[in-house]
Amino acid sequence: MQKTIQEVLKDIKAKKYAPIYVLHGDEPFFIDQVADAFEDQVLTESEKSFNQFVLFGKDQSMGSVISYARRYPMMAEKQVIIVKEASFLEALAKGKEAKGNEDMKAWEDYCARPTDSTLLVFTIKNLVNEKAKILTLLDKTGVVVCSKKVTDGQVGNWLKDYLAQHQLSIQMAPLELMVSYVGTDLQRMAHEADKLIVNCPAGSEIGPEEVEKYVGISREYNIFEYQKALMQRNVAKAQKIAFYFAENTKQNPVPPMLALLFGFFSKVLMVHDLGALSDGELAKQIGVNPYFVKDYQLAKRNYSLAKVVRILEAIKHADLKVKGVIGAAESERDILLDLSFEILHL
């Protein structure tokens, strides 16, 4: 059967287990979160010594894993076997194993008659077709969990929920700042949020001061403020921040900045193409939180469709320069300043 991340985490706390779990998807943070919960919460420390095995798919075969799974626990009700990055199982899903028939038969047999005292967990850090046989075989005896990557529009809500689990709330401005600074990398976002969790007392509200102090994002000189200045076509502020970035490229590397700018102006291009839509529908179409729609509408007014197309070309050109693909060798400093001028004055 299919279950969500939250449902499985709730089941683990309630000690309600299926005999087999397959965790797959393109968002590794959630997969690791569930795998860690199985590793940390099912057995006591004394039980783990003889009854918990963490294996890696590249070192195992289907036969060896099932051999482990058919054993019985020692002085415990269950044994836990976690197979991380189960490449052999993923290969079966894609039909790439030369001896796939033998492995598939072994998988079919185990799914039909799993060992009740074994909790067997596989992780696959890629999306598997939900109709793949390795998953449909688990309809009755196992659980399939799909971990999908969050979008730009979802990461802000995820951060609020993550902080709320530790009795913390966050103001909208620092929330926007962290989302713009970190993006959709949940592993990194959780790492930055943990700094706030450790340093801010439960029940407090996080403002710009805490984000600047504990996460290290300057309230004045950051990619969010730069992007905001570009939206408003505030030449003085945008150039001031661009010069700060240019003089501190080690702390503010240009490649990720280019990726963020390209993503932003790509969405502005979409706003031009989509025409008149409600804020909610527009947010859904471009994949952002409805709160941010007004920023993209402002950028649409300040940059014509033709201008946005030229800006995207300029960002691509700058990216090729940074990579040394085109042009004479230029410093990241000069590339960034030239691009900033082009965006504002092209």
pTM: 0.68
Burial of 74 (0-12, 13-18, 19+ CB in 10 A): exposed
Instruction: Please state, in angstroms and rounded to a whole number, the distance separating the CA atoms of residues 113 and 108.
Output: 9
Q: In terms of domains, do 8 and 59 share one?
A: yes
Q: In terms of domains, do 173 and 290 share one?
A: no
Instruction: Please state, in angstroms and rounded to a whole number, the distance separating the CA atoms of residues 230 and 220.
Output: 14
Q: Which of 95, 118, 147 is the last residue of a domain?
A: 147
Nearest one of 105, 59, 101, 67 to 83, comparing CA atoms: 59
Read off the pLDDT band of 291 (50, 70, 90): confident
Q: In terms of domains, do 50 and 102 share one?
A: yes
In angstroms, what is the C-alpha Rg of the chain?
25
Read off the pLDDT band of 253 (50, 70, 90): confident
Nearest one of 153, 192, 180, 325 to 252, comparing CA atoms: 180
Instruction: Encode 20-30: b = buried (16+ Cβ within 10 Å), e = exposed.
Output: bbbbbbebbbb
Instruction: Please state, in angstroms and rounded to a whole number, the distance separating the CA atoms of residues 315 and 308.
Output: 11
Q: In terms of domains, do 157 and 95 share one?
A: no
Instruction: Please state, in angstroms and rounded to a whole number, the distance separating the CA atoms of residues 276 and 56.
Output: 51
Query: Rounded to the nearest 5°, which phi and psi values hold at 293?
Result: -60, -40
Q: In terms of domains, do 135 and 28 share one?
A: yes
Instruction: Please state, in angstroms and rounded to a whole number, the distance separating the CA atoms of residues 116 and 281.
Output: 48
Q: For the chain, what percent of residues have pLDDT higher than 90? A: 56
Q: Which of 147, 180, 196 is the last residue of a domain?
A: 147
Q: Which of 106, 123, 147 is the last residue of a domain?
A: 147
In the block, residue with structure tokens 């940059």: 303
CA angle at residue 246 from 244 to 250, to 5 degrees? 100
In the block, residue with structure tokens 């836990």: 80
Q: In terms of domains, do 184 and 77 share one?
A: no
Task: Give me the number of domains the chain comprises.
Answer: 3
Mean pLDDT of 106-116: 93
What pLDDT is attached to residue 227?
Answer: 86
The parent domain of residue 175 ranges over 152-215
Q: Does residue 40 surpass a pLDDT of 50? A: yes
Q: Does residue 100 surpass a pLDDT of 70? A: no
Q: In terms of domains, do 137 and 6 share one?
A: yes
Q: In terms of domains, do 180 and 304 share one?
A: no
Q: In terms of domains, do 132 and 268 share one?
A: no
Domain harbouring 82, CATH code: 3.40.50.300
Q: For the chain, what percent of residues have pLDDT higher than 70? A: 97
Q: What is the pLDDT of residues 312-341, one digit of tens each?
A: 999 999 999 988 888 666 788 899 999 999
What pLDDT is attached to residue 345?
Answer: 86
Domain harbouring 211, CATH code: 1.10.8.60
- Long-range residue pairs from 125-128, CB within 8 A, at least 24 positions apart, any chain: 125/24, 125/25, 125/26, 125/28, 125/31, 125/85, 126/24, 126/25, 126/26, 126/90, 127/24, 127/25, 127/26, 128/22, 128/24, 128/90, 128/93
Q: In terms of domains, do 79 and 205 share one?
A: no
Q: In terms of domains, do 188 and 267 share one?
A: no
Domain harbouring 324, CATH code: 1.20.272.10
Q: What is the pLDDT of residues 163-188, one digit of tens each?
A: 999 999 998 878 877 887 777 889 98
